[in-house]
Amino acid sequence: MRRITGLFSRAVLASLVLVAVLYAQKKPEVSVSTARVKMGDPVLLTGTGFTPDRSVMSHLRRPDGSEYNPLRFRTDARGQFIHKIDTVMLDIGNFEVWAEDEASKTLSSRAQFTVE
């Protein structure tokens, strides 16, 4: 009986570890196509690791520390999105961008770019 109980305990533990590994969500990441851009040139924002086929709220912080109104994007079946940031109307300076996975309430990494 002890042998069966021991085997059962190990099987349950192995199952829990497997479930934790399979369902562990990596923190979403965002990146920008360039660290420096001339005013008027586009910057591509890429997001990966988000919940597939769900919405993401993108945030862009101005050089003065204030934030533009967030934009909502839809991720694809792989949990990714791409958005072109038009810099024509942006001030010169350093910007910071990040996104929130609305399904998991997880914040992504942050990326910076400079408009010159």
Q: Which residues are CB-neighbours of 58 under 8 A, at least 6 positions away?
A: 45, 47, 70, 71, 72, 73, 83, 97, 98, 99
Average pLDDT of 84-90?
A: 96
Q: Which residues pair with 29 in a beta bridge?
A: 48
Q: What is the pLDDT of residues 35-71, one digit of tens each?
A: 999 999 999 999 999 999 999 999 999 999 999 999 9
Q: Is pLDDT above 70 for 18?
A: no
Q: What percent of the chain has pLDDT over 90?
A: 78
Domain positions in the chain are 26-115
Protein fold of 26-115: Immunoglobulin-like (2.60.40)
